[in-house]
A and B are shown apart, each in its own frame.
Chain A
């Protein structure tokens, strides 16, 4: 019987990994993958608490999150392709037109 704290710890580590990835990596694709990691960290948390609290709500929300993650990945990749066509680059730092 794995205690809840273990799930929460794994979830926290994954979330921190994803967060750091989003903040420090420059490649748009990597940033997207980091975002996926963060979402999955949240999923682990949800499923763990669902089991612990014996409520199905958490698992349902996890399913929603997976669906949203898929949609987000599709839109994100599409944006990457469009930007790549114009800039021949996936470097996030070069995408700074929308500013003051």
Chain B
């Protein structure tokens, strides 16, 4: 029963992919979308069953082998699933949030070109993501890893006739390749050192690993995680990925795929625990990204891009959590972030939908009364991400920061705290600019503003509820139900540190003050005194310009990597055309000349000799060939004559005389 449920989880969306992908054009859009969200819904029910069974068994890790996939030499790879508490949490998040987003998409994508294609890709993404979180070895993880990358590419480029979308898709794919290369190296290193790719076997003998090797594996894994989870220095693809439809941004580029890197690090924490160097690197990459991306988010004007930088920043918090050893907290934040960021993205989608495709917050404002439901839901998301007590984001973010503080990473704590302040600020700035103040919507669009249909609002309400209560499984911090459940898989080795209640409460108070300060500043700049923000920006043109242009990182990457690569391509093209083609052409010409000489020789010398021989024969035979008259009588007469002669010769030989009187003697 348990095995069946586990296998069914990825099988439902896979069936939908095959049916919708191959036959989707034959039946109606309605049938296609029902199949799509229905299959994910069934997966979600199976995931609940698996989760309940795991809770009942006390968080035991169980493996389900589907079949042996590759074997030979030392290598044996099974298509097998590992079900442990970490996988259960990921399963619930992926299928649950995925289901809600699928339902939302039915309303959002209504009437779009390629409706069935969209749902096919979405379901394919679900299959890949489920393989990623369920696999019991690195190979299955890698298949899922590449599969979600592919679906991300396909869905970013969903509007493939738009150049910017096509470019963004390519960028995401290429940047992810860099990370994947590191991930592959890590897998090779694991195999070389352990002769197996199964998690359980690897982690069982991880103690025998040399610290240098552990560091190498951990850092290579980190490269992969950095690419997939959009951390410094490979984060540039995620903001551009907003070219995809909004449900895609919510599902892939906020709630699930980008958290794969965090999942992978938590999954491999046994290796990270061996390497303080790698841990420090993870922590600083995360802390740096959290702060860096938050600063860019301060001034962006595209509603989805603000949310994208916010996602990068929040992923940074998760990395920071991993880096300081707060694995359970990182997963906790992953879960709450999936709730409130999906809520924010989908509400933003609802705003964009209401405004007929407008994404620029400078052309919004005053939408509170026009689309009240969307406003309320977006506000809940904002409160949750800003870390206002007692919503989900407060508990998870605070826990990561508190863990950093109590484990004496004060610099990282300071960065995270500053990041939290900026997060509260830019999220409330976004809310105020979108929903409050004077309407800056142009007259024509304003007439058509409408609230989203129930099929879109419904999932948002569920996500909003989760954003409110999603933090409670993790209360009290570090010893809530969530942490007990995850303890078998996510407890850092030898961490028996128990902070005092006073410290924890103080840190909570500080976090609340920080969040409220950010809110207050945003209120002052964008609500109480509109126009102040522009004045501040005008007073600091260099800082403002730098932020607005995202620290010119894209330009720097272009100049450092993209342009040289293109120039190298041009150079290689020239080399190919002149040198290699030149050699080929010279060889060709030589062959041509040689064959011309050979032809002349054959025509004049060899044919000459042959003709002389032939003509000589011809001359010699001229007088004799008349013998072949073609007349049967002539031949018969010759035969008879020959017969007579032979008989005569015989008689002559036997008897010495012949009937016609010729005597031999």
Contacts and interface: CB of A to CB of B under 8 A. Distances in A.
B629 interface: yes
A19 B641 CA distance: 12
Interface in B619-635: 625-633
Contacts of B625: 100
Interface string A47-82: 000000000000000000000000000000000000
Contact of A31 (B626, B627, B632, B640): B632
Interface string B368-381: 00000000000000
B516 to A, nearest CB: 115
B662 interface: no
Contact of B640 (A19, A92, A95): A19
A67 B525 CA distance: 124
A99 B632 contact: no
A5 interface: no
Contacts of A97: 630
A23 B631 contact: no
Interface string A20-42: 00111000000100000000000
Which of B625, B627, B636 has the most A CB atoms < 10 Å from its CB?
A: B636
Contact of B629 (A22, A24, A96): A96
B165 to A, nearest CB: 78
A95 B636 CA distance: 14
A33 B76 CA distance: 88
A92 B629 contact: no
Contact of B628 (A19, A31, A93, A100): A100
Nearest to A26: B633
Q: How large is the interface on B (under 10, 10 to 19, 20 to 34, 35 or more residues)?
A: 10 to 19
Nearest to B622: A100
A23 B633 contact: yes
B613 interface: no
A19 B627 CA distance: 21
A19 B630 CA distance: 19
B535 interface: no
B637 interface: yes
Contacts of A22: 633, 636
Which of B629, B633, B637 has the most A CB atoms < 10 Å from its CB?
A: B633
A98 B630 contact: yes
A76 to B, nearest CB: 12
B632 A95 contact: yes
A92 B632 contact: yes
Contacts of A31: 632
Nearest to A92: B632
B632 to A, nearest CB: 5
Which of B625, B626, B629, B630 has the most A CB atoms < 10 Å from its CB?
A: B630
Contacts of B640: 19, 23
A100 B623 CA distance: 11
B626 A96 contact: no
Nearest to A100: B625
Interface string B629-661: 111110011001000000000000000000000
Given A99-B629, A100-B625, A100-B630, 18 more contacts: A22-B633, A22-B636, A23-B633, A23-B637, A23-B640, A24-B633, A92-B632, A92-B633, A93-B631, A93-B633, A95-B632, A96-B629, A96-B631, A98-B630, A99-B628, A99-B631, A100-B626, A100-B627
22 contacts: A19-B640, A22-B633, A22-B636, A24-B633, A31-B632, A92-B631, A92-B632, A92-B633, A93-B631, A95-B630, A95-B632, A96-B629, A96-B631, A97-B630, A98-B630, A99-B628, A99-B629, A99-B630, A99-B631, A100-B626, A100-B627, A100-B629
Interface of B: 625-633, 636-637, 640
4 nearest A-B residue pairs (beta carbon): A99-B630, A96-B630, A100-B625, A100-B628
